[in-house]
Copies of this chain bind each other. A is one copy, B any other.
Amino acid sequence: MGESNNFFKSAFSVDNVIFGFDDGDLKVLLIKRGTAPFKGKWALPGDLVYPNEDLDNAAARVLLELTGLKNVYLEQVHTFGAVDRHPLGRVITIAYYSLVKIANFELTPSSWASKAKWHSISEVGDLGFDHNEILNACFNRLKQRVKSRPVGFELLPKKFTLTELQHLYEAVLEIELDKRNFRKKILSMNLLKDLNETQENVAHRPARLYSFDKVKYERLVAEGYNFAL
C-alpha cells in the first residue's frame, strides 16, 4: 500500500435521525450516551461501522437494535467529515434519516445508549458531536421529501383523521395550512381510503377516519407524487 499507509487510520460511523409523529408533534429519537465521548449527553443514535459491514446495513442495524424494527424507510442524506468533529480521531459519519410509527414498538436498550427518548423537534437542546447540524440537514431533507413522497404513510397510525394528516404537514413544513385547500388537495389525489368509521372516545365531535391506500401509494411514489402547496 506504500504511502497510502498514512491514510488507513480513520474510522466511519452512521448516525440515524429517526422521525416519529405523535399528538400533532414531529419528534426525533435521541439517546443519552452511555460511554465517552459526550457521556451523559443527548445525541443521535449511531455507531461505528464494522469492517465487514455495508453502510446501509450499519444504519439498519442501529435502528433495529434500538427499536426492534426491520424494513423501515431509511435514506442516506449527507456525510459529515470536519477534521475535528470526533475527539477520538478522524471519524466521518454518514447520516441517515428514517420514518417510523411511534406506537408500533417499544424502545430497547443498546450497548451505546443508556436511555432513549422521543424529543419534540422544537425542544431539542445542545446535542453531542455535530449532531445538531446533522439533525438540521435531515430535517431539511424531510421538508423536501414531504413534497415528493406521501410521508404520512410511514409516520401516521393506520387510521387517522384529515386533521391529523394536516398537522403532520404543518409540523414538517413549519407553516400553517388552510384547512379547506388542504382537504381539497389531498382528497383529489385519491390516495386515501375513507374507512366509513369515526373516532371513538373523543371529547369533541368525532371525525371521520381514513387510511392510506397502499396500492395507490406505491403507484404515486413510482409515478412521482407532487404535493405542491
> Which residues from chain A sit less than 8 Å from chain B, CB to CB?
1, 4, 6-12, 48-55, 76, 78-83, 88-90, 92, 94
Contact = CB atoms under 8 A, between A and B. Distances in A.
Contact of A8 (B11, B53, B54): B11
B52 A79 contact: no
A52 B89 contact: no
A53 B54 CA distance: 24
Contacts of A7: 11, 48-51
A48 B90 CA distance: 14
Number of copies: 2
A205 B26 CA distance: 59
Given A52-B83, A79-B94, 15 more contacts: A1-B89, A4-B11, A4-B48, A7-B50, A8-B9, A8-B11, A8-B89, A8-B90, A10-B10, A10-B12, A10-B51, A12-B81, A51-B83, A54-B81, A55-B81
A11 B11 contact: no
A54 B76 contact: no
A61 B94 CA distance: 21
Given A8-B10, A8-B11, A11-B10, A79 B79 contact: yes
A169 to B, nearest CB: 17
A225 to B, nearest CB: 14
A210 B140 CA distance: 35
Contacts of A55: 79-81, 92
Top 5 A-B residue pairs of the complex, sorted by shortest distance between their CB atoms: A55-B81, A7-B11, A79-B79, A7-B48, A8-B11
23 contacts: A1-B88, A1-B89, A4-B48, A4-B88, A6-B51, A7-B11, A7-B50, A7-B51, A8-B9, A8-B10, A8-B89, A9-B9, A10-B10, A10-B12, A10-B51, A12-B12, A51-B90, A52-B83, A55-B80, A76-B78, A76-B79, A81-B94, A92-B94
